[in-house]
Structure 1
Amino acid sequence: MIKPLYSAATYLATPALLGYLAWRSRREPAYRQYIGERFGLRGPSAPRDALWIHAASVGEVQAMSALVRACQQRYPERPIVISTMTPSGADHVRRLFGTGVSAALLPFDQPHAMRHFVRQLSPRLAVIMEMEWWPNLFGCLRADAVPVVMANARLSERSARRYRRLPGLMREMLGTPRVISAQTRADADRLIRLGAPGDRVVVDGNLKFDASGSMDRESARGLRHDIGSARPVWIAASTRGNEEPAVLDAFRMIQKDHPDLLLLLAPRHADRFDEVEHLCQARGLRLARRSRDSAGMADAEVLLADTLGELPWLYGAADVAFVGGSLVPLGGQNMLEPAAWGLPVVLGPHTFNFTEVVKQLTAAGAAESVSNAAELARTVSRLLSDPQERANGGGRAQSLVARHAGAGERLLSRLGPLLRGDR
């Protein structure tokens, strides 16, 4: 009963979805270009019988980048298609892989749109990243007998409580994959309690540990040179609404001890770049935008990272990292990227999407949690003042990342039989 009601609701939501696309396209015109694809009016321009990987957006594309390259090496004859939910995600696919991988946008989860997408693509294998759980998508894959692997699966206790209200729908979706590759034992246990068959759930680790090893050191060195090699640099990355004011408050406090400090500020979403620029200007801060003000970076107090896909190596130009989405109750963002660069990591208290990773980093002495702007300022200022403490914490962070790498190879061994076999 729930599934038909859900499907009906997706059609009733069409006016709202059109309004959302129109609103997003005002700041990101690329949203307008994909309207046909999002509603199933135009199918994907991609090869059939491919390995199809679905990743929500830029962060998830980055997380599976090492896995994709391993698949290209192991199965060079198999075309690869990566779908995302955002134009920026599709652009990141093209930046990372060029013409070697086809990029597409997944349609909204309306029955006809998903059916058209899946049948036109007709993939050999579908790999669904993390929590992209769409009932009609899973139903179409099941109807067409497409093997499905759920990769890098995670499920917080908070999310599990919500999903338990829909037991039938969850059992149907979680019964579709041939393999559910969970990040941790706790994730696996929650997935099984939610309805996933226990014999299909395995713990392979977190792909982000593998992706963190892919670093553009040359670009990082070049940016640090342009900023000024002698200046201390603090990066506040993946920040969200209501976090930037606290970050800027902390920045002003830190400047009392480090007057030549540069704040490298990287908002999570591209449609907020102008908003964050105006916020900085309203506080009288000298700001440069990376996309257009290269000549002014050395004199800026704040460098706004308004380019997409560069965050993994922007960390390499910094001394200390704060990872956002954590001072506000949004669950945090990927803190393994700065850890892989050997940076001490500072986080807010809300990291429920990365509970195990935060536990590991904190236990290793590689991450610290703060609750407000004043604590953030004290922590960052202390780390900037003590090169030895920074080096020790950063070294522990890098060692942790190296110890936990290997999820991609384990997952690849599970994909092999499904890629080689007949459906």
Structure 2
Amino acid sequence: MREWSRYVYTCLFYVAVPILLVRLWWRGRESAGYRRNWWQRFGFVPKVSSRSGPPLWIHAVSLGETIAIAPLVQRLLDQYPDLPIVMTSMTPTGKARAESLFGDHIQHFYCPYDLPDALSRFIKRLNPLGCLVVETELWPNMVAACEAQKVPLMVANARLSARSARGYHRVKSLAYPMMRRLSYLVAQSDADADRFRQLGVPDERIAVSGSIKFDIHVDPVQRREGELLKQRFTGRFVCMLASSHSDEEAQFLVASQSMLARFPQLLLLVVPRHPERFESVYQYFVDQLGMAAVERRSLPASVTDNTRVVVGDTLGEMLLFYTAADVVVMGGSFVDVGGHNPVEPAAVKTPVFMGPFYHNFAVICDAMVESGGMAYVESMSQALEKTASMMVEPAPLLGMGAAAFAYAESQRGALDRLFLQVEKRLINPPV
């Protein structure tokens, strides 16, 4: 019965292949990377051979996961310079980030779709010593293929919200066998570990490291560039909408209209989550406010007294933007996405307002709110109202930023614990 569920799932996936190809082509209109190397998504990659031995396969689905796992990859490169590393992702932004961070020190491919033949072909050509999956990117056939070819699979920095756990329980005939096949799982928190345990991951295969997102490295160069960007904003109070999704920009603008009239020193910094939306978001604000009121980071134009919005349309500069901002309104939390990582702004002492949809980061968010370093709001309007009060009386703003930084610093150490697990389980496993 359990394998019957996976059989049905696999048949449906094969039926969907033409749709997936059309979707790749469609998304390629705005991000050409989706149309490149598409054959890799079906397992057609060159054989990976190295005199140093088989590679470690690290799968980080997109940009956020690539950034999260980057410190671990760098430590592996430093400690095991002869260890070949292959990274995979599903998005061009993830690929671009991995290649910009590590260059030719790694190989990068697009990860195959969850099709048995594609995965079998891919794993045979890689012949990895192990597979490290970042956070929650679990697919039934991928896990089964690793087991079939005796490739140990570890989930690193694993998180599972209560909502996602309920979803897995609804398809338990498919999810439970997948979870039982996992070789190892290193969870972000005890709550995450308990949810995975309830889904069938054996207790002896679970460890808890904390979240490696707290071990973020703040590049002094980027911090300085952020301070210079702040100077370019000519003393304006910067309210940043970070990692925004569709409809959040409209909510943000509506909520801030009265403030823009009351506080001429207010400057809105809007950074869309997905690069393919950069142009449409810029055009939206131009249509609403006029071209003279909107600037974009990618162009050298100066911010003037007439500028009301700056669109952050560049990659790899989030820490720079967080440094330049006075307060962050976190995108993905005002639509049903689940929020985004609040640790990055905390690392540069910038306070955060988080909307009602934060289930992907519930443990971190609750702890940060309790520490006084973040505040929950019910709506974009409430976030802007609180921002207005802090513009009048900035002391609470400074207190929130300091508390956020102190909490983030207190949670460091997960990277060390995760690295030890990777060494023990994948690189130097017991014979």
Specify if TM > 0.5.
Answer: yes
1:420 corresponds to = 428
Q: 1:26 is paired with a residue of what secondary structure?
A: coil
Give SS of 1:91's match.
helix
**Amino acid in the other structure paired with 2:428:** R
Question: For the Cα contact (< 8 Å) 1:45–1:104, is it kept in 2?
Answer: no
CA distance in 2, matches of 1:340, 1:326: 20
1:35 counterpart residue number: 38
Deviations 1:275-294 (A, max 9, x none): 21121012115111212x22
The one of 282, 292, 312 aligned to 1:305: 312
Residues in 2 aligned to 1:43 and 1:16: alpha-carbon distance in whole angstroms: 26
Aligned-pair distance for 1:218? Answer: 2.5
CA distance in 2, matches of 1:66, 1:170: 30
Question: In the aligned structure 1, how far is the partner of 2:371 from the partner of 2:219?
Answer: 22
Q: Which one-letter code corresponds to 1:354 in the other structure?
A: F
Alpha-carbon shift at residue 373 of structure 1 (Å)? 3.2
- 1:148-197 Cα offsets, whole Å, 9 max, x none, are 11111111111111111232432322223332111111111111111110
- Structure 1 residues 262 and 351 mapped into 2: Cα distance closer, same or farther (>3 Å)? same
Deviations along 1:85-127, one digit per CA (max 9) or x if unpaired, are 1011000111222222222210111111111111111112211
Q: For the residues of structure 2 that align with 1:262 and 1:390, how far apart are their CA atoms?
A: 16
1:108 aligns to what SS in structure 2?
Answer: coil
In the alignment, structure 1 residue 226 sits paired with structure 2 residue 223: no
Pick aligned residue for 2:14 from 11, 14, 20: 11
Q: Distance in 2 between matches of 1:46 and 1:36?
A: 20
2:73 aligned with 1:65: no
1:45 Cα deviation from its structure 2 partner: 6.7
CA apart distance, 1:389: 1.7
Q: Which runs of 5 or more residues in structure 2 are unaligned?
A: none
| Bigger mean CA deviation after superposition, 12-21 or 372-381 | 372-381
Which is further off, 67-76 or 325-334?
67-76
Give 3-state SS (helix, strand or coil) of 2:337's partner: coil
Q: 1:214 to 1:3 in 2, by over 3 A?
A: farther
What's the CA shift for 1:130? 0.9
Shift of residue 222, structure 1, vs aligned partner: 2.8
The match for 1:140 is 145
- The match for 1:82 among 87, 91, 94 is 87
Residue type at the aligned position of 2:358? T
Separation in structure 2 between the aligned mates of residue 42 and residue 314 of structure 1, nearest angstrom: 37
Shift of residue 236, structure 1, vs aligned partner: 0.7
Quick one: which of 356, 374, 391 aligns to 1:384? 391
Shift of residue 213, structure 1, vs aligned partner: 4.5
8 Å Cα contact 2:48-2:127 kept in structure 1? no
In the alignment, the residues of structure 2 paired with residue 82 and residue 188 of structure 1 have an alpha-carbon distance, to the nearest angstrom, of 25
Q: Which residue of 1 aligns with 2:240?
A: 235
Q: Which residue of 2 aligns with 1:56?
A: 61
**SS of aligned partner of 2:257:** helix
In the TM superposition, what is the alpha-carbon distance from 1:321 to its structure 2 partner?
Answer: 0.7
Which segments of structure 1 move beyond 6 Å, counting only runs of 4 or more? Answer: none
Q: Does structure 2 conserve the Cα–Cα contact (< 8 Å) formed by 1:253 and 1:377?
A: no
Mapped to 2, the partners of 1:265 and 1:257 lie a distance apart of 20
Task: Specify whether residues 122 and 312 from structure 1 end up closer, same or farther in structure 2 by C-alpha distance, changes over 3 A only.
Answer: farther
- 1:368 Cα deviation (Å)? 1.2
**Among 139, 142, 149, the residue aligned to 2:154:** 149
Q: Does structure 2 retain, via aligned residues, the 8 Å contact 1:226–1:298?
A: no
Q: Distance in 2 between matches of 1:128 and 1:160?
A: 18
**RMSD over equivalenced CA pairs, Å:** 1.8
Measure, in 2, the Cα distance between the counterparts of 1:352 and 1:136. 27
Count of paired positions: 421
> Would the alpha carbon gap of residues 200 and 339 (structure 1) be closer, same or farther in structure 2, given more than 3 Å must change?
same
Instruction: Tell me what 2:279 maps to.
Output: 274
Equivalent residue, structure 2, for 1:206: 211
Aligned 8 A contact 2:98 2:108 in 1? yes
Q: Distance in 1 between matches of 2:225 and 2:113?
A: 36
SS of 1:27's equivalent?
coil
Q: Equivalent residue of 1:322, what SS? A: strand
CA distance in 2, matches of 1:146, 1:222: 48
Cα deviation for residue 416 of structure 1 reads 0.9
8 A contact 1:66–1:214 mirrored in 2: no
Could you tell me whether the CA contact under 8 Å between 2:187 and 2:207 is conserved in 1?
Answer: yes
Residue 347, structure 1, aligned to residue 350, structure 2: no
Task: Report % sequence identity.
Answer: 35
Counterpart position of 2:329: 322
Report the CA distance between 1:422 and its aligned residue: 7.8
Distance (whole Å) between structure 2 residues aligned to residue 214 and residue 164 of structure 1: 41
Q: Distance in 2 between matches of 1:66 and 1:358?
A: 22
Partners of 1:61 and 1:92 within 8 A in 2: yes
Partner of 1:101: 106
Code of the aligned partner of 1:320: V
Tell me the SS of whatever aligns to 1:205.
Answer: coil
Q: Where does residue 244 of structure 1 map in the other structure?
A: 249
Cα distance, 1:46 vs. partner? 8.0
Aligned: 1:187 with 2:195: no
Give the equivalent residue in structure 2 for 1:288. Answer: 295
